[in-house]
Amino acid sequence: MSVTIKSASEIEKMREAGRLLGMLHDELAELVRPGVSTKDIDLKAQEIIAGFGCKPNFLGYNGFPGAVCVSINEEVVHGIPSKKRFIEEGDIVSLDTGLIYKGYHSDAARTHACGVITPEKAKLVEVTKQSFFEGIKMAKPGNYLHDISNAIADYVEPFGYGIVRELVGHGIGTHLHEEPQIPNFRQKSKGVKLYPGMTLAIEPMINLGTADVYWLDDDWTVVTCDGLASAHYENTILITEDGCEILSLSSNG
């Protein structure tokens, strides 16, 4: 399968999938409070997605047991919702989720602070989010995919953070994961050329310390090797005639 170009009617469905996901993220942000379990967040997301008349795309994906990946502090991505795991003051909490609207997928992640967090964590969260916006400045027809990757790396590297290499962004559409893969670290090759109608999930995962990660015994949760915090920020975007449109924006960013 190669990179798909979405038609006008497909783009309308991608837009709606993204818009609803932005609204979902706004509601989930309210749940990032001390004492809330990661399962509470997942169940709320499932309820909201069903209320939209949509389906969660993560639930059951390769057997993933939730609609939201909730990853706290040193957890990078793919944290499994649990009724025994509670959010605490000072945590940074990444919520990664998506939905399917009329057969079309959206995917977005936010990292939220619970109460007062350390300045180091706050900077990490801010830089991770900004790295997405730096990357998408290059997301326009005529540019190449790896211009996005390199723009993210150029922005992040001076902070001395570790850029996760094992996991990457991806094309998205009638499937959650489509071609191409979208690395967040420096690339030697140019990657595919960008054309209007491509829909992409750009998702930098940035660590306070080492870039190295490992998988917990649950086979899902990815954590940093040094135990330092990690942040994640993601949106589904559309390449337009003259740039790009962010499909999954929420009012809280």
Per CB under 6 A, residues contacting ligand MF3 are 58, 61-62, 64, 69, 78, 96, 107, 170, 201
Site string for Co ion, 211-230 (x = CB under 5 A): --------------------
Span between the terminal Cα atoms of the chain, in Å = 32
Does residue 200 belong to the site contacting Co ion (CB under 5 A)? no
Nearer to ligand MF3, 96 or 147 (CB): 96
Nearer to Co ion, 13 or 105 (CB): 105
Nearer to ligand MF3, 61 or 133 (CB): 61
**Angle at which helices 38-51 and 8-29 pack, to 10 degrees?**
140
Does residue 237 belong to the site contacting Co ion (CB under 5 A)? no
Does residue 87 belong to the site contacting Co ion (CB under 5 A)? no
Q: Partners of 236 in the beta sheet? A: 201
Does residue 147 belong to the site contacting Co ion (CB under 5 A)? no
Out of Co ion, ligand MF3, none, what residue 69 binds, judged by CB under 5 to 8 A for its kind, is ligand MF3
Nearer to Co ion, 87 or 172 (CB): 172
Which of residues 40, 75, 107, 178 is near Co ion by CB under 5 A?
107
Q: Which stretch binds Co ion (CB under 5 A): 8-16, 47-55, 130-138, 201-209?
A: 201-209
How would you class 174 by CB atoms within 10 Å of its CB: exposed for 0-12, middle for 13-18, buried for 19 or more? middle
> Are 66 and 42 in contact, with CB atoms under 8 Å apart?
yes
Angstrom distance (rounded) from CA 45 to CA 253:
18
Q: Which stretch binds Co ion (CB under 5 A): 11-19, 56-64, 100-108, 211-219?
A: 100-108
Which of residues 28, 72, 92, 201 is near Co ion by CB under 5 A?
201
- Shortest distance in whole angstroms from residue 169 CB to Co ion: 6
- Shortest distance in whole angstroms from residue 226 CB to ligand MF3: 23
Residues that bind Co ion (CB under 5 A): 107, 201, 203
